[in-house]
């Protein structure tokens, strides 16, 4: 869910700050100033209110952008902005504590991530599936047999939840910046010399707090696990309002739950992705996963609450089939790459010995390391063919919303732009890292995402 940024301005001195020449190179270059200052500042200012507007349009304007722009004035918008509530704060506090406890106490295999540019190797605990089962089991017991809370509580408080997460996320990113400067968790921390960019991109690569990896805790447990709970609450609200679960909600939420469960099955592989390996933990990732994901990724579910569309059975079956196939293909591509890495290439890909390029690269500590570049299977079709599968899956769980309004397709549009952009960023990063080996790979796999197109 993120792309790599050219790391030239992030080369650090031993004290954790950039050399003066790095800051000087940073200034005076119009293109770099736009990417490192203007664009980050724009996103920091625009994205937080956008989240609230998306919720507002979906809930109060029937999901219609046309209706919103035609009828809403500033006074109306301000009156509809949700206020924080103690109930919403209690939901979030309970969620944060529950996920921290489950991550700590549930048994799980120790997993070591890829070596960082500074030669460190982050450690994680793989207990995502047990945590998923226990989380949903506890919430079901609390909502239904015990009646401690309504299963629709997340929907009922969702506007307030987004406001609280928004404020918390912005403040927490300040904390992450200060922690990275004064109390870094590893030697991979460092500043670029630009305060706006450091807040946006982050100072630490692998921050931890009280022994917890913040990337695993916030990305995987608070956000990805939360995605599932939010959707189920939306589904419960539709049943409360209309007395039944529509086929459109069933297909959409069902596909997303399969995607999320698959994520936790593959959790160890996620720690070798760009999000974890290369993206620092600042506004871009931390705020994005804390606020943008809960709102934007669940937007079609929020829309369907008040749009219980009855899909024709053949259409529903078709969408479910396409979505499941896309989720499988996305996962299979990631499994191929992970299996090759774990076995050193001593495996099969599509029942054949994998075609590999053994690449060498040098980390910042001066050590030469090797990496296997897979050029067969899904990775022989294009360099990021799994992005096609990921976009197809998102489209399959959005199409149940049909075509009355454009807003439910916001996530698909956003995801497509993000992944196309990420593919280009990843190519530049790999070209810089692997040099001639990456050139060889690109000659054998010439297309980034779609063969003969891009």
The predicted model gives 30-57 an average pLDDT of 93
Which residue, among 37, 136, 28, 155, has the nearest Cα to 91 in the 3D structure? Answer: 155
- What is the pLDDT at residue 341? 85
The percentage of residues in the chain with a pLDDT greater than 70, rounded to a whole number, is 93
DSSP assignment letter at 352: B
The pTM of this model reads: 0.91
Lowest mean pLDDT among 9-13, 163-167, 260-264: 9-13
Q: How many CA atoms lie within 13 A of 313 on its CB side?
A: 0
The predicted model gives 368-391 an average pLDDT of 93
What is the Cα gyration radius of the chain? 22
CA separation for the pair 2, 275 (Å, rounded): 6
The answer to whether 16 touches 259, Cβ cutoff 8 Å, is: no
- What is the pLDDT at residue 30? 67
If pLDDT is split at 50, 70 and 90, which confidence band does 315 have? very high
Q: Is the pLDDT of residue 25 over 60?
A: no
pLDDT single digits (tens) 59-108: 999 999 999 999 999 999 999 999 999 999 999 999 999 999 999 999 99
Q: Is the pLDDT of residue 354 over 90?
A: yes
- What is the pLDDT at residue 19? 34
Residues 6+ away with beta carbon under 8 Å from 128: 108, 220, 221, 263, 264, 265, 267
Q: Could you give the 3-state DSSP secondary structure of residue 198?
A: helix
Helices (H), 357-409: 378-381, 386-398
CA separation for the pair 281, 297 (Å, rounded): 20
Lowest mean pLDDT among 10-19, 195-204, 354-363: 10-19
Domain coordinates in residue numbering, the chain: 1-41+81-310, 311-454
Per-chain mean pLDDT for the chain: 91
If pLDDT is split at 50, 70 and 90, which confidence band does 29 have? low
The predicted model gives 328-344 an average pLDDT of 91
Q: Is the pLDDT of residue 15 over 70?
A: no
CA separation for the pair 188, 214 (Å, rounded): 15
If pLDDT is split at 50, 70 and 90, which confidence band does 369 have? confident
421: how many CB neighbours lie within 10 A of its CB?
12
pLDDT single digits (tens) 289-314: 999 999 999 999 999 999 999 999 99
The predicted model gives 392-416 an average pLDDT of 97
């Amino acid at each position: 869910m993120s792309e790599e940024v050219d790391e030239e301005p992030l080369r650090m001195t031993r004290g954790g700050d950039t050399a003066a020449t790095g800051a000087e190179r940073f200034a005076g270059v119009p293109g770099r100033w736009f990417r490192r200052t203007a664009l980050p500042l724009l996103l920091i200012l625009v994205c937080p209110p956008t989240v609230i507007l998306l919720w507002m349009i979906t809930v109060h304007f029937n999901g219609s952008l046309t209706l919103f722009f035609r009828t809403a004035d500033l006074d109306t918008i301000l009156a509809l902005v949700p206020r924080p509530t103690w109930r919403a704060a209690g939901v979030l506090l309970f969620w944060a504590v529950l996920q921290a406890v489950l991550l700590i106490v549930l048994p799980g295999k120790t997993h070591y991530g890829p070596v960082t540019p500074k030669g460190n190797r982050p450690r994680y605990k793989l207990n995502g599936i047990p945590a998923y089962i226990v989380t949903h089991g506890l919430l079901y017991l609390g909502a239904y047999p015990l009646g401690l809370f309504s299963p629709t509580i997340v929907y009922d408080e969702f506007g307030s939840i987004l406001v609280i997460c928004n404020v918390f996320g912005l403040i927490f990113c300040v904390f992450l910046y200060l922690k990275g400067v004064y109390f870094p968790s590893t030697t991979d921390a460092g500043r670029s010399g630009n305060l706006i960019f450091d807040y946006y991109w982050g100072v630490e690569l692998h921050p931890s707090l009280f022994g917890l990896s913040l990337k695993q805790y916030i990305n995987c447990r608070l956000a990805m696990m939360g995605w599932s709970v939010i959707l189920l609450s939306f589904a419960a609200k539709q049943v409360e309002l209309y007395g039944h679960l529509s086929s459109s909600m069933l297909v959409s939420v069902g596909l997303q739950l399969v995607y999320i469960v698959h994520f936790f099955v593959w959790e160890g592989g996620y720690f070798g992705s760009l999000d974890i390996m290369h993206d620092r933990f600042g506004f871009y990732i931390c705020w994005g996963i804390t606020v943008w994901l809960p709102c934007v990724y669940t937007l079609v579910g929020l829309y369907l609450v008040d749009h219980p569309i009855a899909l024709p059975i053949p259409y529903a079956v078709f969408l479910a089939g396409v979505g499941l196939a896309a989720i499988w293909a996305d996962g299979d591509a990631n499994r191929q790459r992970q299996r090759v890495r774990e076995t050193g290439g001593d495996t099969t890909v599509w029942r054949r010995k994998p075609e590999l390029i053994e690449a060498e690269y040098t980390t910042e500590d001066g050590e030469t390391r090797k990496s296997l570049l897979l050029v067969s299977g899904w990775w022989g079709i294009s360099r990021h063919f799994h992005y096609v599968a990921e976009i197809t899956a998102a489209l399959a769980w959005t199409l149940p919303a049909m075509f009355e309004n454009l807003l439910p397709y916001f996530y698909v549009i956003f995801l497509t732009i993000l992944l196309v952009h990420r593919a280009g960023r990843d190519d530049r990063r790999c070209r810089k890292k692997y040099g001639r080996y990456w050139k060889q790979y690109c000659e054998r796999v010439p297309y980034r995402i779609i063969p003969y197109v891009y």
